[in-house]
Every structure is written in structure tokens, then in C-alpha cells.
Structure 1
């Protein structure tokens, strides 16, 4: 198994003094995906749950729609390669706009910059509702589960669950990767997502909102702020966006009808 974190010798400055100590940092790992022997993309990610990451990424890019679309998957995690054979061909132009480096930093949102986003982002049909208490409990559960973040402070965290309980939690140095791992988990385990709630540690950017729409959830919870474009997209895609969940308070930015007392 690949290491998710590593220990480094550092010099810490504190209140006028320097001291040598050890700090735990998050590992960063490049993973190149080949589809039907053609290079598709390279993801820079945290080296865990890589098969879920690949499946979620391929689904969000429109390369697959269900688990049975994958004929075989050969993951070389030490070499940083994943070879996928699909039960179908992908048009050459799909590789043209999909083959790119996806960095771990925030970067420019992919919303509507690529045809795959237009093809796979869905207007939510979810009728799921959530109470204020459930919003704060789910956020606390995600933060309590985020052990790697507590060790390093260097990853994004995301969870997927029902209003009553968390189903799966994943973390990654890339926020989009954390969401793709959740998506891949649902695809691999054939878990329906329409009734689920997405809980996220970072801000709700247009990229995060687009990922939520691709997964198919109707409610997104965050402890941080949304962006203007994310709010507009949430309104258009019928997604309830809730931000600044701090203690017992939060802001509802779109479709407040899903939050009930």
C-alpha cells in the first residue's frame, strides 16, 4: 500500500525561537489513465482509493456511465499507471479535449469549459429534505472522520450520506479528486445517489457544484463559502447549496425548500 503521508524534518519558528522538529505532510502522486491503450489524462492525487478515483473521474468525464462499462482495470499504483479497457469505443475527439494534466491546486473551474461537463451535469430531481440539526451533525461527522487532515492540514475532505447518517468519507489533496472518489465508490457498489447529501470541507466553487450535479445529489453542505458562479449554477441545476456551517448556524444560498424544521 502506498503511503498517504510522510514525516519531514522541519525548522519551526515560535514566539522568537527556532526548533528542529518533525512534521507530517500529505503525499502527492501522479496517476496516468489509459483507456483502450490510449492516454486519457494524468491526475495528481492522494495515493489511496485509486480505483474509486479512476471510476469516478471517468464517469464525471462521460467516458463511462455504469460499472459494467468497464471490461477490465489494471492498476499499477507503484508505477502510477491505470490501464482501463472499456466495453465500448470512445470517439477520438473525446480524447482531444479530455487529455490534460489535472493539478492538485484549485485552478480554473471546468464547468462549461469542456463538452463533457455539459453532457454529464444533471439537473437534480431529488426530493430529499434535511433538517438544520442534520446539516450540523453531518458536518461534524465529516470533520471528526478527517484524520489525515488533522495530521497534515493538507487535504480536502468530502462525505456522502443520507440526512440521517454518513455513508462514505474520502479525502484528497485535490478537491475534485475527493469528490470523484465518492462518485467511484457509489458506481462500484451500485449505490443510488439521488437521496444522498454531499458534505464538503472547502468552498463551494463552480467545479464542486458541477461535480455534485454529475454525481446526482440535490443538497451540498460546506463549512466554507460559495462563489457567485456556483450559486448561479446551483439555482439552475436545482441544487440546494448551504455554506458557512459553523456550530449551529449556516447560510442557505439556493433552493431553501429542502431545509425543513
Structure 2
């Protein structure tokens, strides 16, 4: 059992009129603070795993960096929950642009900071693969079958990168945004192309989630839950196909439906 992902705790369970004391698995939530060039930048609440990927993916999605080549060094202090990052061009990072922010595990980040940086890094997707309805259901099933920690805790989100045929990588976190940042960080660190790839996602497609997918340059997101109205509007504008409520061979297509084709 990975104690950074889940821990045992005694709880009381109500079942058929009786109260029973049992042990259950609980998802871990801890603060993670990123320092850039000696300045405290942001503290997020997360599952404390894959912290290097999380830090780099977060900075890329915020427009602080575009490539890992802009980073001189990354030091992770797992015990304290700190990341110390040195950027190559220190003048490019201005800590006075935004004050210290606390980023929640569920509700995203401060809207004030959020919209300041999106224009710089959001991408309009021109080319994306076509995928059959059957493939959509199969990819969601593969991600869920690989999510042992979710099955044990019920408290984690999952984000996966896939081709139309195969789930390539997946990351888990208590925050749906964090799961995508870990995935993005993994791609940047390992020079993995996101061209013609698909995002498979366990959570709701909010505007923040949609924009993260755009910044990764991916044109299709397959989700277990629903999108919001703003997410759909942004998806139409940015050329992203959004598929929600995937349950076996059933789902809804909310934008750019031409990329989802009938099974042959």
C-alpha cells in the first residue's frame, strides 16, 4: 500500500440498522508548495505522488514555462511538501504579477490569476483523430480497470493519455486538475508528443479542465461526467471534441461531434 496515496483509518459503518467499527482506506490530501527562483509561488492541495510531474505540468499549464528546457533545476522535498524550481531566464518570471495563491483540490484556482494567462497558452486544435463509439467506451473501461487506488478509496480522480486504440499513461490525484497536470508534466519530461492523442478523464469537464486539454494540444476529451456550459462554449471555439457520461456503449457528444464515428 502506498501511504502517499491512501491510508487505513478506523471508521464506523452503518449497515442494515447496525453500527460496525471497521478499517477503511482513505485518500491522502496534503499541501504542496512550489517555489520559483526563491519566491513562494503557489500552494496546492493534492495527492503527494509524482510531485515533479505535477509541478512542471502546473507551471506549463499556467504559462510560466513552455518547455522543460527553460528549467535549470527541480528539487523536491517530499517530507515538507516543497518544490524548489530555478528557471533559466529569471527575468521571465515576475512574482509581483500575482500574490501567493492557495489552490484547492476540487474547485480549481483563483479566477483572477486563471484568466490572465490563458490567452498566452491556449491552443486552437485543427487536427485530431477520428474515433469510434466503441473505442470511446473501451478506453474509459481500460482507465477504470487500471484505477486500483480509486476502487479502494473512492476519493481519487484519474486522467489518462491514449491513442484511439490504447491507454498509454494515467495519473491519479484527489484533484481532477492535478491529475491532468501530472499527465502533462510526464509528457514534457519524457518528450512525449500529444499529437493525435486523446484524454480519458474521470471527472467533470469544467472550463479549467477544458483549457488544460487545449494547452496540451489535444483535440478529444472522453469523460465519465458532464461538461459545463462554459466548457462547451470554449470547446467549440478551440476545436475540441467533448464526450461525457460514458457508460459502456452509451455517452453524449457535446461539441465537434464529427470526430466521433459509428462502429463499422
- Alpha-carbon distance, 1:25 to partner: 0.3
Question: What is the aligned residue count?
Answer: 261
| Secondary structure of the structure 2 residue equivalent to 1:97 | coil
**Mapped partners of 2:218, 2:236: distance in 1:** 14
| Residues 204 and 225, structure 1, Cα contact 8 Å, conserved in 2 | yes
- Alpha-carbon distance, 1:93 to partner: 4.6
**Mapped partners of 2:253, 2:22: distance in 1:** 43
**Mapped partners of 1:201, 1:220: distance in 2:** 10
| Secondary structure of the structure 1 residue equivalent to 2:13 | strand
Matched, 1:8 2:16: no
Q: 1:191 to 1:111 in 2, by over 3 A?
A: farther
Q: 1:111 to 1:233 in 2, by over 3 A?
A: farther
TM-score (norm 2): 0.94
Matched, 1:154 2:160: no
Q: Which residue of 2 aligns with 1:165?
A: 166
Q: Which residue of 2 aligns with 1:77?
A: 78
Q: What runs of 5+ residues in structure 1 fail to find an aligned partner?
A: none
TM-score (norm 1): 0.95
**Mapped partners of 1:94, 1:249: distance in 2:** 47
Q: 1:101 to 1:109 in 2, by over 3 A?
A: closer
Q: What runs of 5+ residues in structure 2 fail to find an aligned partner?
A: none
Matched, 1:52 2:53: yes
Once the two structures are overlaid, the 10-residue window that deviates more, 171-180 or 100-109, is 100-109
Q: Which residue of 2 aligns with 1:36?
A: 37
1:197-243 per-residue CA deviation (whole Å, 9 max, x = no partner) reads 00111111111101111111000001111111110010001000011
| Residues 232 and 254, structure 2, Cα contact 8 Å, conserved in 1 | yes
- Alpha-carbon distance, 1:91 to partner: 4.7
Once the two structures are overlaid, the 10-residue window that deviates more, 102-111 or 146-155, is 102-111
- Alpha-carbon distance, 1:2 to partner: 5.5
Q: Which residue of 2 aligns with 1:26?
A: 27
**Mapped partners of 2:41, 2:249: distance in 1:** 44
CA RMSD of aligned residues (A): 1.8
1:64-92 per-residue CA deviation (whole Å, 9 max, x = no partner) reads 11111111111001011110011112556
| Secondary structure of the structure 2 residue equivalent to 1:245 | strand
Q: 1:5 to 1:95 in 2, by over 3 A?
A: farther
Matched, 1:134 2:135: yes
| Secondary structure of the structure 2 residue equivalent to 1:198 | strand
**Mapped partners of 2:168, 2:134: distance in 1:** 18
Q: How does 1:222-241 map to 2 (within 5 A)?
A: 222-241=223-242
- Alpha-carbon distance, 1:96 to partner: 3.0
| Secondary structure of the structure 2 residue equivalent to 1:231 | helix
Q: Which residue of 1 aligns with 2:66?
A: 65
**Mapped partners of 2:65, 2:248: distance in 1:** 39
- Alpha-carbon distance, 1:113 to partner: 4.0
Q: 1:95 to 1:142 in 2, by over 3 A?
A: farther
- Alpha-carbon distance, 1:94 to partner: 5.2
Q: Which residue of 1 aligns with 2:184?
A: 183
| Residues 57 and 186, structure 2, Cα contact 8 Å, conserved in 1 | yes
Q: Which residue of 2 aligns with 1:116?
A: 117
